Structure 1
Amino acid sequence: MAEIKAHEFDVFIKRRLGDHRLFLIYGPDRGLVSERADAVAAATKVDTKDAFSFMRLDASALSGDPGRLYDEARSTGLFGGEKLIWIKGAGADKGLADAVTNLGGDKDLSAWIIIEAGDLKKGANLRKAAESASSAVAIPCYADDARALNGLIDEELASFSLKISSDARALLADSLGGDRLASRGEIRKLALYAWGRQTIEADDVVAVIGDASAISTDDAVDAVLKGDRDGFLHATQKVIASKTPVFLIMQGVMRQLQLLDLMRSDMEERRSSAADAIAAHGRHLHFRRKPIIEAALRAWTGELIARELNRLHFAILQCRRRNSLEDTIALQTLLATTLIAGRGKQSRN
């Protein structure tokens, strides 16, 4: 199975890239997917400004014409040299998976092929094809763990010749992680704020850093849980303005509803209070969000949680099948959940 773990990527890009010709880069962290696709493209040394050597395609364009990828991959550039084909927006398309199986097994393939995809579950046809083909490799991109976050912090601050105190590091790391590009941008913003000093302190982090772990998506998630339509629309506008995928809000709501489901089950089985359930299962929650979760536990019934989880599961499936409509599907689904939560809250008051 050819799969590159998060901690293996830097070594892979320097030493083992040439062993493969086709790269499937996928995962829920869209920023990291984009960043690693850029790194692979740069490592191929193909000039992306040369229209005869470089081609960017959308996966939806290939679904109706899968033969085009075969033609492009097995043809040479007008002036010779290697080609780079970069495909974005891939999902569960069987035609593309078949092409990966075919092209990824061709050891004489002259073209480099990069495929960017969203979150692919284990066993998804495209992921399975990349993991099985001899000349292909799958590169998953999940939210940064503590080790990766600290490495990112050190990397960015070193470029500004800055150090960071232990308290500031802990506070900063707690505010990052949902999207690699957003996290990198927040660290750079902090570095510019501290320009001219040697060490970043905790007060600097509080003054500058928002919640980049969801790039303000927490505001939208909280608005959904509270049934606050106006708050949801306002928070979503900020997310869209920051060019952050709306899909991240839906993922955040899904995680919170799964947590609520676990807590409510605990409350019903043990007849415990909302505060006790949060103490048992919500230790990782930021202190400012605990009152919101506690209020949601009192407002959301188990039946409502289950129904909305099913709605979100279906919407995520539709987003994968219809990638070009992802934002529209996510917004409509989240707004519906917000309105239902709001009506439920009013009926219980």
Structure 2
Amino acid sequence: MAQKKAHEVDAWLARPDPRMSVVLVYGPDRGLVSERARLFAERSGLPLDDPFCVVKIDGAEIAEPGQLVDEARTVPMFADRRLVWVRNAGSQNALVADVAALVADPPADCLVLIEAGDLKKNAALRTAVERGERAMALPCYSDDARSLDSVIDNVLSAAGLSISLEARQLLKASLGGDRLATRGELEKLALYCAGAGNVTVEDVRAAVGDVSIAGADEAVDAVMCGRIAQFDTLFTRHLAAGAPPFLMLSAALRHVQGLQLMRAQVEAEGKSPAAAVASARPPVFFARRRAVEQAVERWTLSMLQAAAERLQGAVLKSRQHPAVAASVSRQTLLALAIEGARAGR
């Protein structure tokens, strides 16, 4: 199948396969979709500001089957090939029909680049591209810890800056919801620290806004420590910021998995919760240590295993049924917050 896993996309974009005629870049992180689509367009070698070589179309403009096919098969006049760049694509019938036709019979002198939002595995547009031998589907999901580190290093090193470990942890807690927003915050931080040589915790606090999932760590800590009212306030703020509810579930699941490792040291090795947290790798951010210690003390391994299974089920349900994702996420996390409160009595 013509697709890459999320962690393989950057490597592919560094050396795109020249045989590919149709490339679909899609995912929930619209900033990352846009950044990677532009990178692929630049790799084509065509002048992106030349309307004779690069044609940009909004997906909504493709109302009738054949429009995209006709554009892709237009003979280039002033170059060896052309780039047709479709933005804001979805599974519109006309668009899907044209993409399927181009995948089945790729144009000889044209690249077709398509930007789309989050597409399910069985989405018609995604399926049409993945079936092609000369087509490629590239998923874009929100930055994980490794990709965030890479973006941070790229932007700060280009500005001649290094960053302390604690400042990096604080910075990562405030980034990751959208690649363009992340890059914008990093560039703002680099400008703020220009000439300083090193980025400190104070610099991050002064210059960086919270462009992550609206305080996910704080909300997850509230859940595991049984602070029900605080969780409800933070979750409401999270939704009001326009962040997908399942991201909070994912953050909670990652935290529970980390707690399992720390709690195992308490039960199997006899360590104190504080000692288990202190030995965690990667280190727990200093501002969260007390909350994490409380969670390790309250939740047994069996309780954490049950919590992980509940969260996994909620993540699956929220993705299968987006219309009820907010209520499923709230109910699941609220139930865990109640359990955390009971465990602390």
**TM class by shorter-chain length?**
0.5 to 0.7
| TM-score, normalization by structure 1 | 0.67
Name the counterpart of 2:171. Answer: 175
Name the counterpart of 2:70. Answer: 76
Alignment partner of 1:336 out of 323, 331, 338: 331
| TM-score, normalization by structure 2 | 0.68
> 2:257 aligns to what SS in structure 1?
helix
Tell me, in whole angstroms, the C-alpha distance in 1 between the residues paired with 2:188 and 2:241.
14
> Any residues of structure 2 matched to 1:63-102 within 5 Å, and which?
71=65, 75-76=69-70, 84-86=85-87
Tell me, in whole angstroms, the C-alpha distance in 1 between the residues paired with 2:238 and 2:74.
44
| 1:77 CA drift (Å) | 5.1
| 1:238 CA drift (Å) | 4.1
For structure 1, list consecutive stretches of 5 or more residues without a partner in the other structure.
Answer: 58-67, 91-95
* Cα deviation digits, residues 92-127 of structure 1 (max 9, x gap): xxxx9999887545323865433443797xx99998
> 2:70 aligns to what SS in structure 1?
coil
Name the counterpart of 1:234. Answer: 233
Name the counterpart of 1:108. Answer: 107
| 1:256 CA drift (Å) | 0.4
* Cα deviation digits, residues 56-114 of structure 1 (max 9, x gap): 36xxxxxxxxxx99935764359968754446678xxxxx9999887545323865433
| 1:41 CA drift (Å) | 6.7
Name the counterpart of 1:221. Answer: 220
| 1:38 CA drift (Å) | 5.3
| 1:243 CA drift (Å) | 4.1
Name the counterpart of 1:164. Answer: 161
Kept after mapping to 2: 8 A contact 1:21/1:104: yes
| 1:295 CA drift (Å) | 0.8
Name the counterpart of 1:146. Answer: 149
Amino acid paired to 1:36: R
| Cα separation, partners in 2 of 1:170 and 1:308, compared to 1, 3 Å | closer
Pair 1:307 & 2:306 matched = yes
> 1:137 aligns to what SS in structure 2?
strand
| 1:230 CA drift (Å) | 2.6
For structure 2, list consecutive stretches of 5 or more residues without a partner in the other structure.
Answer: 76-82
Kept after mapping to 1: 8 A contact 2:249/2:333: no
Amino acid paired to 1:113: I
RMSD: 4.6
> 2:308 aligns to what SS in structure 1?
helix
> 1:139 aligns to what SS in structure 2?
strand
Tell me, in whole angstroms, the C-alpha distance in 2 between the residues paired with 1:80 and 1:254.
50
Tell me, in whole angstroms, the C-alpha distance in 2 between the residues paired with 1:129 and 1:77.
19
